[in-house]
Structure 1
Amino acid sequence: MFQFEKLSVNQILMFSEIVRDSSLLQKEFIEKSYLRHALNFEDTIEFLQELDLVEISEDRLTLKPKYRKFLERFKEAQKPVEIAKKFILNSLINKKTPFAEYLDKFFSHFHLKDKHYEFAPSVSERLEYSGLRNFLIDLEFLYLDSSETKYVIAEEHSFACNELIQQNQISPAEFLKIQHMKGEIGRAAELKIIEYERERLLQFPDMVEKIEHTALKNVAAG
């Protein structure tokens, strides 16, 4: 599991500024420049790699088109930090990243209450999600309530949170439909196997009748 504890928005900003202004994208050179101003270079670059924004090959960095486009906007922006936070957040909650399952699990704990999505974690959940929580606070996606016992999604991100939660929920009817489809696929596969066995054993007529469809004979089978 990625160590979100070692990640911050400022680290990503520093890395972005360095690669944006550098004509030499050798990893060693970028790392030396970065470490003069920030910590956790390897964690920062690993995060960007996982988001498919940066690639490393033979000690050379390649900036992916999406990241290059961001860097152009970042350079000209009047409020670069806001642009960066939005870009990082949108990249992070993309369903195609390696973080998707962990994020899905985290957001599944949030429930709508008084027009806000909130999550009151147990002690073990606080430990499990502390790094991610702090990073999302850094991104201004969520905050701690006044009692510091609940995580609350910032109002401007409520819609995005709702989308994430809804994507991970299915109705009972949908669940039954999925189960039915699985059963149909299983039965079709079983019948294909039986037909194959019959054809293979046609040279032994006495054995054909002995092939039994166990799923029909015994409802507990399969």
Structure 2
Amino acid sequence: MSTFPHHVTKRDAFLICVICALLGAVLSWIAFSSPDGVRVPREAGNAADWVAAVSGTIAAVATCVIGYAANSFTKAQADAGRERERRQNAILIQQMRAWVEILQRPHLNYQMFANGHLPGVRMNLSGACGLISGAAGVISLVPWDSTAWTLLGPSGVESWVDASGKAQMARETCQHFLKGHPDWTQPFDPQTTDGFQPMGLVFQVVHDAAIQLSAEIDRTVARLKASQDLH
């Protein structure tokens, strides 16, 4: 039996109704079916009227109890639904933060590679193409059509449009670079290899858009907490 703090349970309400019904039945039997009937003074009025009044009072009390229990249960159900919505919002916020982090990785990896500090990757054309191919794949992981983005406010929508457009541009630029360097055994110089330095600018643009989108997510979190839609 599920219960909610400070609320009447359905079991208690049911038991009250049963008790009230039994009391009404017993009083009615005494008044109308008992061999001896109800012995009350004549001045007290008709016994049947007296019993009917008591039964009516019991029924009224039962109705109030049932109504209170129903209202309490309805409120408890609404509170439970609100809590589920808060948890769902928290999950969506976590998803958006993860996607924003994904958008920042290509720029960070590019900087480390250009400086020769990316672990396990050699400073050659094969390493550069692997880096750019991986960046395109990572950026493609962001689901721009997810319902999570609907939590953003009006200014957040603008940032979403900007970031999604720049992510698309980055993917296409990555593909263009890879098509322009089919032979990964060719010599490589980060300063002179055709198209490599522009890729750094592309990843920088995506990174900056992700930072702006992250700020909008922070504003969304503050707004949801203020409206008690997020813990």
Interval containing the TM-score (normalised by the shorter chain): under 0.3
Query: Which has the higher relative contact order, 1 or 2, with Cα contacts under 8 A spaced 6 or more apart?
Result: 2
Structure with max Cα Rg: 2
More strand by share: 1
